[in-house]
Amino acid sequence: MSVTAITVAGHEDAPSAFTVARLALARDLTLAYRKREQLIQPLAFFAIVTTLFPLAITPELSGLRPIAAGVLWVAALLSALLALEFLFRDDSHDGTLEQYALSGRSLTWLLFAKTAAHWALTGVPLALVAPLAAAALGAPISAAPGIVVSIAIGTVALSLIGAIGAALTLGVKRSGALLSLLTLPLSVPIVIFGARATELALKGESYAAPVELLAAIAVLGLTLAPLAAAAAVRISLE
Amino acid sequence: MTWTWFHRLASPPHVYRLAQKLTPWFAWPAGILILAALYDGLVLAPPDYQQGDGFRILYVHAPSAYMSVLVYMTMATAAAVGLIWRMKVAHAVAASCAPVGASFTATALLTGMLWGRPMWGTYWEWDPRLTSELLLFFIYLGYMGLRSAFDDVQRADRASAVLAVVGAVDVPIIHYSVVWWNSLHQPASLLRFGKPTIFISMLIPLLMMFLGFTLLFAALLLTRLRGEILRRERTASWIEQAVTS
Amino acid sequence: MTLSSFLRMGGYARFLWPAYGITFAVVILNIVWARRLIARARTEALRRLAVHGESS
Touching subunits of C (3+ CB pairs, under 8 Å) are B
pLDDT band at A7, cuts 50/70/90? Answer: low
DSSP state of B52: B
- The count of other CB atoms within 10 Å of the CB of residue C21 is 13
pLDDT band at A13, cuts 50/70/90? Answer: low
Q: What's residue B119's pLDDT? A: 85
User: Are B146 and A168 an interchain contact pair (Cβ–Cβ within 8 Å)?
Assistant: yes
- Would the pLDDT of B197 be above 70? no
Residue C34 lies inside a defined structural domain of this protein: yes
Range list of H helices, chain B = 4-8, 12-39, 58-85, 88-120, 128-148, 153-184, 200-233, 237-244
B 176-215 residues with CB < 8 A to C: none
Percentage of the residues of chain B whose pLDDT score is greater than 90: 68
Instruction: Point out the residue among A168, A182, A224 whose CB comes nearest to the CB of B169.
Output: A224
Q: What's residue B201's pLDDT? A: 82
pLDDT tens digit sequence for A119-162: 999 999 999 999 999 999 999 999 999 999 999 999 999 999 99
Average pLDDT for B49-70: 91
Burial of A136 (0-12, 13-18, 19+ CB in 10 A): middle
pLDDT band at B198, cuts 50/70/90? Answer: low
* Residues comprising chain A, all counted: 238
B interface test, pick of A73, A192, A236 with most B CB neighbours within 10 Å: A192
pLDDT tens digit sequence for A14-65: 678 888 899 999 999 999 999 888 889 999 999 999 999 999 999 999 999 9
Q: Name every chain B residue with its beta carbon within 8 A of the beta carbon of A231.
A: 83, 162
pLDDT tens digit sequence for B213-235: 999 999 999 999 999 999 998 76
Q: What's residue A120's pLDDT? A: 95
Please state the φ and ψ torsions of residue B43, each to the nearest 5 degrees. -105, -50
pLDDT band at A218, cuts 50/70/90? Answer: very high
Residues whose CB is less than 8 angstroms from the CB of residue B37 and which lie 6 or more positions away in sequence, other chains included: B59, B205, B206, B208, B209, B212
Average pLDDT for B25-52: 90
Average pLDDT for B114-134: 90
Q: Please state, in angstroms and rounded to a whole number, the distance separating the CA atoms of residues B109 and B112.
A: 5
pLDDT tens digit sequence for A170-213: 988 888 899 999 999 999 999 999 999 999 999 999 999 999 99
In this complex, how many residue pairs, one in chain B and one in chain C, have their CB atoms less than 8 Å apart? 101
pLDDT tens digit sequence for A71-119: 999 999 999 999 998 899 888 888 889 888 888 888 999 999 999 999 9
Average pLDDT for B7-34: 92
Percentage of the residues of chain B whose pLDDT score is greater than 70: 93
Residue C38 lies inside a defined structural domain of this protein: yes
C interface test, pick of B53, B130, B140, B214 with most C CB neighbours within 10 Å: B53
Q: Which domain holds residue C51?
A: 14-55
User: Are A189 and B169 an interchain contact pair (Cβ–Cβ within 8 Å)?
Assistant: no
Please state the φ and ψ torsions of residue B48, each to the nearest 5 degrees. -75, 150
* Average pLDDT of chain B to the nearest whole number: 90
pLDDT band at B242, cuts 50/70/90? Answer: confident
SS3 B48: strand
B interface test, pick of A199, A219, A235 with most B CB neighbours within 10 Å: A235
Does B237 contact C at CB distance below 8 Å? no
Touching subunits of B (3+ CB pairs, under 8 Å) are A, C
Q: What's residue B1's pLDDT? A: 55
- Would the pLDDT of B134 be above 60? yes
Residues whose CB is less than 8 angstroms from the CB of residue A95 and which lie 6 or more positions away in sequence, other chains included: none
Chains C and B are touching, with contact defined as 3 or more CB–CB pairs separated by less than 8 Å: yes
**Nearest residue to B63 (alpha-carbon basis) of B172, B211, B219:** B211
Q: What's residue A102's pLDDT? A: 87
Minimal CA separation from A85 to chain B, in Å: 16
- Would the pLDDT of B132 be above 80? yes
DSSP string of A21-81? Answer: HHHHHHHHHHHHHHTGGGGHHHHHHHHHHHHHHHHHS-S-HHHHGGGHHHHHHHHHHHHHH
First to last CA, chain A: 26
Q: Is residue A144 a contact partner of residue A204, using CB atoms and an 8 Å limit?
A: no
pLDDT tens digit sequence for B63-111: 999 999 999 999 999 999 999 999 999 999 999 999 999 999 999 999 9
Does A70 contact B at CB distance below 8 Å? no
DSSP state of A141: G
- CA separation (Å) from B191 to B49, B121, B135, B188? 15, 11, 25, 8
Q: What's residue C56's pLDDT? A: 42
Residue C27 lies inside a defined structural domain of this protein: yes
- The count of other CB atoms within 10 Å of the CB of residue B73 is 14
**Nearest residue to B75 (alpha-carbon basis) of B98, B57, B56:** B98
Instruction: Point out the residue among A169, A186, A232 whose CB comes nearest to the CB of B170.
Output: A186
Instruction: Point out the residue among C6, C24, C30 whose CB comes nearest to the CB of B100.
Output: C30
Burial of B10 (0-12, 13-18, 19+ CB in 10 A): middle
Total structural domains within chain C: 1
- Would the pLDDT of A1 be above 80? no
Q: Please state, in angstroms and rounded to a whole number, the distance separating the CA atoms of residues A115 and A159.
A: 6
Instruction: Locate the chain C residue with the closest alpha carbon to B116.
Output: C15
Q: Show me where the domains of chain B are located.
A: 25-42+49-183+196-233+238-242
Q: What's residue B51's pLDDT? A: 79
Q: Which of the pair, C9 or B43, is modelled with greater confidence?
A: B43
- The count of other CB atoms within 10 Å of the CB of residue B117 is 17
Please state the φ and ψ torsions of residue B123, each to the nearest 5 degrees. -70, -30
ipTM confidence score: 0.89
Q: Is residue B213 a contact partner of residue B108, using CB atoms and an 8 Å limit?
A: no
Q: Please state, in angstroms and rounded to a whole number, the distance separating the CA atoms of residues B13 and B18.
A: 8
Residues whose CB is less than 8 angstroms from the CB of residue A140 and which lie 6 or more positions away in sequence, other chains included: A202, A204
Minimal CA separation from A218 to chain B, in Å: 12
Chains A and C are touching, with contact defined as 3 or more CB–CB pairs separated by less than 8 Å: no
Q: Name every chain A residue with its beta carbon within 8 A of the beta carbon of B180.
A: 192
Instruction: Locate the chain C residue with the closest alpha carbon to B225.
Output: C38
Minimal CA separation from C30 to chain B, in Å: 7
Which residues share a beta bridge with B48? Answer: B52
- The count of other CB atoms within 10 Å of the CB of residue C17 is 14
- CA separation (Å) from B52 to A194, B45, B121? 41, 11, 16
User: Are B158 and A235 an interchain contact pair (Cβ–Cβ within 8 Å)?
Assistant: yes
Residue C39 lies inside a defined structural domain of this protein: yes
Q: Is residue B58 a contact partner of residue B209, using CB atoms and an 8 Å limit?
A: no
Q: Which of the pair, A34 or C51, is modelled with greater confidence?
A: A34
DSSP state of B53: G
| Ranges A75-89, B27-41, B192-206: which has the least confidence | B192-206
User: Are B240 and C26 an interchain contact pair (Cβ–Cβ within 8 Å)?
Assistant: no
A 158-177 residues with CB < 8 A to B: 161, 164, 168-169, 172, 175
User: Are B53 and C37 an interchain contact pair (Cβ–Cβ within 8 Å)?
Assistant: no
